[in-house]
Amino acid sequence: MDADHAHLGVPKSAWNNKYKDLPPAEIFPALVRDPGLVALYHTAEHLRITDRKTGAVSPDAKAWQQKRNVLGYFDGRPIKILPPHHNGQGASMPEEYYSYSGFTFLASPRGELFLSLGTTMVTFDVAFDADHNEEIAFPNLTDGEKLLTRTSR
Residue 138: predicted pLDDT: 43
DSSP 8-77: EEEEHHHIIIIITTS-HHHHHHHHTT-TT-EEEEEE-TT---B-TTT-PBPHHHHHHHHT-EEEEESSSP
Residue 59: predicted pLDDT: 81
Domain ranges for the chain: 1-104, 105-153
pTM (two decimals): 0.64
Residue 101: predicted pLDDT: 85
Q: How far is CA 47 from CA 51, 68, 81, 117, in A?
A: 11, 10, 17, 26
| Angle CA 51–54–58, to nearest 5 | 35
CB within 8 A of 96, min separation 6: which ones?
11, 12
Residue 152: predicted pLDDT: 38
Residue 72: predicted pLDDT: 93
Mean pLDDT by 10 residues, the chain (153 residues): 78 96 91 93 76 82 81 93 77 92 66 69 58 46 45 39
Angstrom distance (rounded) from CA 153 to CA 149 = 7
Residue 38: predicted pLDDT: 96
Residue 113: predicted pLDDT: 64
